[in-house]
Chain A
Amino acid sequence: MTDILITLLLIIGAVFGLIGSFGLWKLRQPMQRLHAPTKASTVGVGAVLLASAVHKGTQGQPSWEELLVLIFLFITAPVSALFLAKVHLHKDHAPQDLPQPEGSEWATYKNPDEPR
């Protein structure tokens, strides 16, 4: 029974990891490319780490280290994605080319020294 569970988790992880990297190669725009690796870093690695945790449990030595890696990846992936999106906005776009948000402006283009 646990064998089937581990196998399923491994196959799900492999498919999603491959989809994430394939999307990185396939998508055309830099901002679209930010979207692809989220699959690899959440479901892909997550399923593999869960499979490893279940496998350790069947060996009679359950451990929580896999969940540690999982939580760390889930916390840090959005932070690095935010930084890369900011790099794209500041390096490849001008503020006047972007759609204007209603009633405000893009916070990332504001001068940080200016009082709100």
Chain B
Amino acid sequence: MIDIALTFAMGGFAAGLLLTMARILRAPTMADRVLALDTMVVNVIALIVLYGIQNDSDLAFDIAVLFALTGFVSTVALAKFLLRGNIIE
């Protein structure tokens, strides 16, 4: 039962990744692309955790933590750059 649910969840988040990719390709402004990339990071974290459940892997959570950290920092850095034209003033 868990296997079917895992496949379903992976399919759902993979479809979400495709939708965010489409939004990145067809976005009116740069801020929309940054938002879509942020959502993409969230989807990838979920996919990594699902992979960890499927293979009983402890490594997946360290990767998920790293992905969450870099995703947040890059989103804030891009938003700051769009706002001020500079990241560290």
Number of A-B contacts (CB under 8 A): 158
A107 at the interface (CB under 8 A from B): no
Q: Which residue of B lies closest to A68 (CB)?
A: B65
B2 contacts across to A, CB distance below 8 A:
3, 6-7, 10, 55
Q: Assess the B31–A10 pair: CB atoms within 8 A.
A: no
Q: Assess the A59–B35 pair: CB atoms within 8 A.
A: no
Q: Assess the A37–B19 pair: CB atoms within 8 A.
A: no
A66 contacts across to B, CB distance below 8 A:
49, 61
Residue of A17, A30, A79 near B13 (CB, 8 A) is A17
Kindly supply a per-residue 1/0 record for chain B positions 71-88, scoring 1 wherever the CB is within 8 Å of any chain A CB and 0 otherwise.
010011001101100000
Q: Assess the B46–A13 pair: CB atoms within 8 A.
A: yes
A-contacting residues, B38-89, CB 8 Å = 38-39, 42-43, 45-46, 49-50, 52-53, 56, 58, 61-62, 64-65, 68-69, 72, 75-76, 79-80, 82-83
Interface residue tally on A, bucketed by range: 35 or more
Count of interface residues, chain B, beta-carbon cutoff 8 Å: 51
Known contacts A49-B49, A84-B31, A90-B83: A11-B9 contact under CB 8 Å: yes
- Shortest distance between the CB of B81 and any CB in chain A (Å): 10
Kindly supply a per-residue 1/0 record for chain B positions 8-51, scoring 1 wherever the CB is within 8 Å of any chain A CB and 0 otherwise.
11111101110110110000111110111011001101100110
B15 contacts across to A, CB distance below 8 A:
18, 21
